């Protein structure tokens, strides 16, 4: 028996009150020559959403993100373009890594980050510097909006991008995060299975999906082969136990998990 509100095709209605957000999977070549590593951040235990969990960098889409997108030639109400801006902005704020900003010199990154954290608008910074973001460098591959009731509901667009070269040390924004590290998707999943880190349901499913590809180029091709549809997981009885499920046609190798094992947020 499945929940009557679920939509197995993935074409679900957006839950009321969902907060628009964006997240960025940043992939770099591993020195060992193995699968690409991904930049992960650990949420502070004081956060209302996903407290203590390891996640990809990202956050809410701000009104100014739409202004920046419009400055780059997109329509004023283009939600995906605004999400691309938010993913880049939030990554810089949270980690100190300037992705998709080719004209920003490395010795200027910290000053721009501090300005953003002090609530200077990104549109103002770009206008003052006369620079543009490389929004087309991001590869869209998913859109999730889990509706678990007990947590905040985020309508999150997922993008992948190749990590830019950098020499400076990356640091977390301490108000929201406590730790930052690079690891392959398989390594992060193994850490979670050993109990060394905690990951929420959407992060696990997306790490499993990314783990199918060895590098950014292969994952980009994989992403292009599947539609980006709104995923709102549903509850279903399978084999005598309750499972949390997602659609089967969106490229995920694992599409259900026993409900008692799920970390929801």
**Cα gap 92→98, rounded to integer Å:** 5
What local confidence, expressed as pLDDT, does residue 41 receive? Answer: 92
**Cα gap 130→86, rounded to integer Å:** 19
Beta carbons within 8 Å of 80's beta carbon, 6+ residues apart: 140, 157
Higher pLDDT, 180 or 74: 74
Q: Is the pLDDT of residue 178 over 60?
A: no
User: How much is the mean pLDDT over the chain?
Assistant: 88
Reported as a single tens digit per residue, the pLDDT across 220-231 is 999 999 999 999
Share of the chain above pLDDT 70, in %: 87
Query: For 168-172, what is the mean pLDDT?
Result: 75
Q: Is the pLDDT of residue 215 over 70?
A: yes
Burial class (CB in 10 A: 0-12, 13-18, 19+), 196: exposed
Say if 125 falls within a structural domain.
yes
Going by pLDDT thresholds of 50, 70 and 90, the confidence category of residue 208 is very high
What local confidence, expressed as pLDDT, does residue 1 receive? Answer: 35
SS3 158: strand
For the whole model, what pTM was predicted? 0.89
Is the Cβ–Cβ distance between 233 and 116 less than 8 Å?
no
Going by pLDDT thresholds of 50, 70 and 90, the confidence category of residue 88 is very high
- In the chain, the number of structural domains is 1
Say if 176 falls within a structural domain.
yes
What local confidence, expressed as pLDDT, does residue 138 receive? Answer: 98
Going by pLDDT thresholds of 50, 70 and 90, the confidence category of residue 15 is confident
Q: Is the pLDDT of residue 171 over 90?
A: no
Say if 62 falls within a structural domain.
yes
Q: CATH code at 148?
A: 3.90.79.10
What local confidence, expressed as pLDDT, does residue 167 receive? Answer: 79
What local confidence, expressed as pLDDT, does residue 5 receive? Answer: 40
**81: left (phi > 0), else alpha (psi -120 to 50), else beta?**
alpha
Task: Provide the residue range defining the domain that includes 82.
Answer: 19-207+214-231
Reported as a single tens digit per residue, the pLDDT across 19-75 is 999 999 999 999 888 999 999 998 655 544 555 789 999 999 999 999 999 999 999
Say if 2 falls within a structural domain.
no
Say if 241 falls within a structural domain.
no
Say if 178 falls within a structural domain.
yes
Say if 7 falls within a structural domain.
no
Q: Is the pLDDT of residue 173 over 80?
A: no
**Cα gap 257→10, rounded to integer Å:** 17
Span of 134-138, 175-179, 246-250 with lowest mean pLDDT: 175-179
Query: For 223-246, what is the mean pLDDT?
Result: 93
Query: For 102-117, what is the mean pLDDT?
Result: 96
Tokens of 148: 């678990």
Q: Is the pLDDT of residue 187 over 60?
A: yes
> Tokens 């959403």 — which residue?
49
CA 251 distance to own-chain centroid: 17
Going by pLDDT thresholds of 50, 70 and 90, the confidence category of residue 13 is confident
Burial class (CB in 10 A: 0-12, 13-18, 19+), 224: exposed
Q: Is the pLDDT of residue 6 over 50?
A: no
Say if 132 falls within a structural domain.
yes
**Cα gap 88→20, rounded to integer Å:** 15
**Cα gap 198→203, rounded to integer Å:** 10
């Amino acid at each position: 028996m499945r929940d009557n509100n679920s939509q197995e095709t993935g074409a679900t209605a957006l839950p009321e009150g969902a907060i628009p957000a964006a997240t960025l999977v940043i992939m770099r070549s591993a020195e060992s020559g193995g699968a690409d590593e991904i930049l992960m951040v650990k949420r502070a235990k004081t956060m209302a959403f996903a407290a203590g969990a390891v996640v990809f960098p990202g956050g809410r889409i701000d009104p100014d993100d739409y202004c920046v997108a419009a400055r780059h030639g997109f329509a004023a109400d283009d939600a995906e373009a605004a999400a691309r801006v938010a993913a880049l902005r939030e990554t810089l704020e949270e980690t100190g890594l300037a992705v998709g900003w080719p004209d920003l010199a490395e010795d200027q990154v910290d000053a721009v980050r501090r300005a953003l954290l002090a609530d200077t608008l990104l549109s103002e910074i770009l206008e003052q510097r006369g620079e543009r973001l490389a929004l087309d460098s991001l590869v869209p591959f998913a859109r999730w909006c889990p509706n678990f009731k007990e947590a905040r509901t985020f309508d999150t667009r997922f993008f992948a991008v190749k990590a830019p070269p950098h020499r400076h040390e990356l640091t977390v924004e301490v108000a929201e995060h406590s730790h930052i590290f690079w690891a392959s998707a398989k390594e992060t999943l193994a850490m979670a299975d050993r109990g060394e880190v905690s990951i929420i349901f959407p992060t696990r499913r997306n790490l499993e999906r990314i783990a199918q590809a060895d590098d950014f180029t292969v994952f980009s091709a994989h992403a292009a082969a599947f539609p980006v549809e709104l995923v709102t997981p549903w509850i279903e009885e399978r084999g005598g136990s309750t499972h949390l499920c997602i659609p089967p046609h969106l490229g995920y190798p694992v599409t259900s998990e026993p409900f008692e094992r799920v970390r929801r947020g």
